[in-house]
Amino acid sequence: MINKYNYSPGPSYVKENVRLARAYEVTNSDIDIDFVKYYKDTCDLFNKIIDSDNETYIISGEAILGLEAACATLTEDGDRVLVLDNGLYGNGFKDFVSIYGGQPVLFTQDYHNEISSEALEEYLKEDSNFKYATLVHCDTPTGMINDIHKLCPILKKYGILTVVDSVSGMVGERVSVKESKIDILLGGSQKAISAQPGITIVSVSEDAKKSFKNRKTLVRSFYANLRIWENYLEEQYFPYTLPASDIVSFRVALENIVEEGIENVLKRHEKIANAVRKSIKDFGLELFSENDNSNTVTAIKMPEKIKATDISDYILKKHNVLIATSLAEYKDSILRIGHMGENARIEKTLYILNLLEEAFNSFGFKSKKSLTESFIENIY
């Protein structure tokens, strides 16, 4: 049975009006001139949410395509790229850089803390000869937020272009491209935007476009080459047939956000996340992050003798509800609650906390206080 409630940190809950939008008649994006305008308007709507004047492309493919395309289009053989690394996704950028011939240089920091802007400044004073730098806004497997509005302007000051993965950050965490001066911002449809998976959003600055134009060699990909999008608006022609239904439902998800107001959406995430963190600690568990700072995902450190998969298996078997553990070396030791997008609602959060409480108790966990009672005390 694939019809389950899902509280993982993405994909998140998709509202009915977004799901139903997929049932509209499917247009042909190659010959329907109205669709070009609809597409551009959707990009502009997205730009309002991320406070940006840069050019935005909505591309068919999961967010990983956006990450790869940014690296594919910027990187030439031998380019040095600074990879800011305090989490699994942060570290993972080195692979995209290498695949396209670049030379990744890791700036690895403590995985339990956000990247310090002072440490970055110190580092750049010694070595700043990089074409671009990669940074993850919310490193989802460990629930770590980095301060993009502080870090990106520092990199920019040293003439380094910035590529930011805000796939699980944006809409749950404030993003201002104008303030942060991000050159390539990457997002996905299925996290806090609360649309179905399948779309990546890539927003590109004029400086990044200049860098694309100055390449001496061709980009070694067609599908992951952002330059194929450069002239779609002038030519009223897309590089290939777009998934019209995905874009229509994505547009409805954006309209839901704009209707509620992005400031209200951000406040809702913050309020839920604060109450979740407080109740987890009151219950007697610890968080992985020492900063306690993600408003979209809470990563819980598992107590001794209980594995994260014990809890997720229990909740799945007994209640048909999905909750995520973590990845790689954290698979057994971290359990994660996704409270992003449409899952960042009081009634939904209370529901999953109730199941967590039952699961932990069934494994003999000695709690200090009721998880749900603490959440209710802290949310109102």
Ligand X SMILES: *Cc1c(COP(=O)(O)O)cnc(C)c1O
Interface contacts to ligand X, rule CB under 6 A: 10, 62-64, 89, 136, 138, 140, 165, 167-168, 188, 191
Question: Minimum Å distance from CB 143 to ligand X?
Answer: 10
CB closer to ligand X, 69 vs 371:
69
CB closer to ligand X, 168 vs 205:
168
Question: Minimum Å distance from CB 168 to ligand X?
Answer: 3
Specify which residues 132 forms β-bridges with: 81, 161
CB closer to ligand X, 124 vs 136:
136
CB closer to ligand X, 168 vs 326:
168
Question: Minimum Å distance from CB 199 to ligand X?
Answer: 11
Segment (H or E) for 209: helix 206-213
CB closer to ligand X, 57 vs 375:
57
Question: Minimum Å distance from CB 136 to ligand X?
Answer: 5
In the chain, the DSSP E strands lie at 5-6, 55-60, 80-85, 103-108, 132-136, 138-139, 144-145, 161-165, 184-188, 199-204, 286-287, 297-301, 321-322, 334-338
CB closer to ligand X, 124 vs 167:
167
What is the three-class DSSP state of 156? helix
d(CA 74, CA 80): 11
DSSP 158-207: TT-EEEEE-TTTBTTB---HHHH--SEEEEETTSTT---S-EEEEEE-HH
Question: Minimum Å distance from CB 335 to ligand X?
Answer: 16
DSSP state of 324: B
Q: Closest by alpha carbon to 201, among 193, 212, 211, 209?
A: 193
Q: Is the peptide bond before 239 cis (omega within 30 degrees of 0)?
A: no
Terminal alpha carbon distance of the chain: 36
Question: Minimum Å distance from CB 74 to ligand X?
Answer: 17
CB closer to ligand X, 36 vs 61:
61
Other C-beta atoms closer than 10 Å to the C-beta of 241 total 10
Question: Minimum Å distance from CB 151 to ligand X?
Answer: 15
CB closer to ligand X, 168 vs 374:
168
d(CA 375, CA 252): 31
Residue 250's region, left for phi above 0, alpha for psi from -120 to 50, else beta, is: alpha
Phi, psi at 348, each rounded to 5°: -70, -40
> In Å, how far are 70, 90, 117, 134, 148 from 219, measured between CA atoms?
11, 23, 32, 19, 28
Residue type, 199: I
Question: Minimum Å distance from CB 87 to ligand X?
Answer: 8
11, two tokens: 């994909």
CB closer to ligand X, 102 vs 172:
172
Question: Minimum Å distance from CB 191 to ligand X?
Answer: 6
Question: Minimum Å distance from CB 61 to ligand X?
Answer: 10
CB closer to ligand X, 175 vs 371:
175
Please say whether the dihedral angle defined by the alpha carbons of residues 216, 202, 162 and 230, taken in this order, is positive or negative. positive
